[in-house]
Amino acid sequence: MIEDDLRAAFVRHEPLTPSTGPLRVAIDRLAAVRRRRRQRFQAAGVTLALLGALGVGVPHLRPDRQVEGPSLSGQPAGAQSGALNVLLVGVDGFGDQPSYRLADSVLLVHIPADRSRPYLISLPRDLEVSIPGRGVEKLNSAFYTGAGEPRPDLDAGYDLTRQVVADLTGVRVDAGAVLTFAGLRRITEAVDGVEVCLPKEVRSWHTRRTFPAGCQLLDGDASVDLLRQRRYPPDGASDRDRNAQRYVAGLVRRAVAQDVLTSPVRLTALLSAAGKGLAVDDDGLPLTRLVAVLPELKTVDPVGLSLPVGPPAGNASRLPLDPKQGPEFLAALREDRVAQWAAQHPEQVNPVR
Amino acid sequence: MTYEEFADTRLAPLLRYAVMLTGEPHQAQDLVQETMVRVQLNWRRVARADSPERYVRRMLTNQYVDWRRGSWVRRVLLRGEPDTSVPMPTDHAQSAVDRDQVWSWLSRLPRRQRAALVLRYYEDLPDVEIADTLGCAVGTVRSSISRALATLRAEYVEA
């Protein structure tokens, strides 16, 4: 009978089983690595996201940057300009261990050398980019490709996204962080909610929430909900990117209003509120240095911009870089002339307040 | 129970179970390693379960069934098709050949079906517990086992 044959086949192959000794050692080692990594995230997360968004940072940090970070395809402009670029990646996926993650929002926080104000530059998730080992793809799949399945690794996802963004823009990414939905919720709650000002009503595709036009205070869940919406808004993912900028602008205002960055007590409280929903770029600027430096910006009110893109290419939904404005903008970014570019292209500026 | 105690007693049976699932020692090691790392990191949650043993078997089974892309499938593909070029049977070798055929036919079954077979005919679990392990209804377990057996019987007829 087939059942008996099956039983016999299983028993007969028992000797294939390797010994458990080496495996047990390997398990312990790997678990120790992951545990360390997890703790690192917990300590570092919120600080870096906040400081990154605020564009803290500055002259003290310059010397380190000569030796750190990858050199980018022979384009040292970013490194020499004294400008600072922080990469914030917002990824989707619920629960502790989603089986894959895509980047919903990719935001480059650009701080010019004169420290006048931060610029929030959205890189559309549908942007056509070249991903090493994968070919021409959408930007959001860089994170997915790097992070892998079925246990996405935030570090690896970030690393590949950073590489793709650096190759695309030609600027050095000085620091960065990955924010999950859970991290977003906790950050929002750590500052008792974030005020977001919307030009138009936004309806949620996922919940029954409707976000009215105008300014409103969002709690953690509402923030996550808002930053997921791209189905109903007329301009889809671009509208979502603008909302992400409005959120960051609101978060910055909130943090400043609460003296988070100048008060060690508040900062510590925020740190302990941080969860593992955040992964931080370890190869970037040393975190201790970032935390030690207070904001020196003349104003923290950010300017929202988007990388100029053209219409979808062919029958794919990928958005290529705008053939004219795209390279101009990137040149301005590399040469630290973003303020000038924004003044010349007021239609590209997204009001964030 | 501590993680150490659990590993002392349960690691070997889990590894044997993984060999039956994957049919191959290296993949079995990978599967158990990945599962046990998560067990160790989340030990408190595992220990809270009614039966940590069952809980971990469910984790490992899910991992096996769900592993889609990534290293897992690449390895499976690299391993190639099971060897079907059976040598001309001689009388005394006939039964040995048959037995190895069963093993190679198993590798062609969908993973859920194979898992169900292993749980019933190797782990000797009742259908209710198999259903719990696979996260499906008892009826689903029975139908996937009978489908798997039908596939294997068809192979017998052809061979």
As for the ipTM of the complex, it is 0.81
Residue range A88-104: mean pLDDT, rounded: 76
Residue type, B15: L
| In contact, A297 and A64? CB cutoff 8 Å | no
pLDDT of residue A38: 61
Give the span between the Cα atoms of A305 and A119, in whole angstroms.
7
pLDDT of residue A269: 55
Taking only the tens place, the pLDDT of each residue in A331-352 is 999 999 999 999 998 888 888 7
The answer to whether residue B82 neighbours chain A at the CB level (below 8 Å) is: no
Q: Mean pLDDT score of chain A, rounded to an integer? A: 75
Does the structural domain A40-190+259-350 have CATH classification 1.10.3720.10?
no
pLDDT of residue B45: 86
Q: Is the pTM of this model over 0.80?
A: no
The answer to whether residue B29 neighbours chain A at the CB level (below 8 Å) is: yes
pLDDT of residue B89: 39
Structural domains of chain B sorted by starting position, each given as residue range(s) with its CATH number in brackets: 1-79 (1.10.1740.10), 89-159 (1.10.10.10)
Give the span between the Cα atoms of A30 and A32, in whole angstroms.
5
Give the span between the Cα atoms of A285 and A175, in whole angstroms.
6
**Residue of A1, A3, A11, A13 for testing the chain B interface, max B β-carbons within 10 Å:** A13
The answer to whether residue A34 neighbours chain B at the CB level (below 8 Å) is: yes
Kindly indicate the confidence band of residue A58, based on its pLDDT and cuts at 50, 70 and 90: very low
- Mark A238-277 as b/e (b = at least 16 C-beta within 10 Å): bbbbbbbbbbbbbbbbbbbeeebbeeeebbeebbeebbbb
Chain-chain contact of B99 with A17 (C-beta, under 8 angstroms): no
Taking only the tens place, the pLDDT of each residue in A181-200 is 877 887 788 778 899 999 88
Chain-chain contact of B37 with A5 (C-beta, under 8 angstroms): no
Helix (H, G, I), strand (E, B) or coil at A216: strand
Percentage of chain A exceeding pLDDT 70 = 73
The answer to whether residue B44 neighbours chain A at the CB level (below 8 Å) is: no
Taking only the tens place, the pLDDT of each residue in B77-127 is 333 333 333 333 344 445 555 557 888 888 889 999 999 999 999 999 999
The answer to whether residue A8 neighbours chain B at the CB level (below 8 Å) is: yes
Task: For chain A, give every domain's residue range.
Answer: 40-190+259-350
| In contact, A215 and A199? CB cutoff 8 Å | no
Kindly indicate the confidence band of residue B68, based on its pLDDT and cuts at 50, 70 and 90: low
List the 42-101 stretch of A: residues with Cβ below 8 A of B. Answer: 97, 99
Kindly indicate the confidence band of residue A45, based on its pLDDT and cuts at 50, 70 and 90: very low
Residue range B43-72: mean pLDDT, rounded: 82
pLDDT of residue A261: 60
Taking only the tens place, the pLDDT of each residue in A147-168 is 887 778 877 888 889 899 999 9
Helix (H, G, I), strand (E, B) or coil at A139: coil
pLDDT of residue B97: 54
Q: How many CB atoms lie under 10 A from the CB of residue A315?
A: 5
Kindly indicate the confidence band of residue A280, based on its pLDDT and cuts at 50, 70 and 90: low
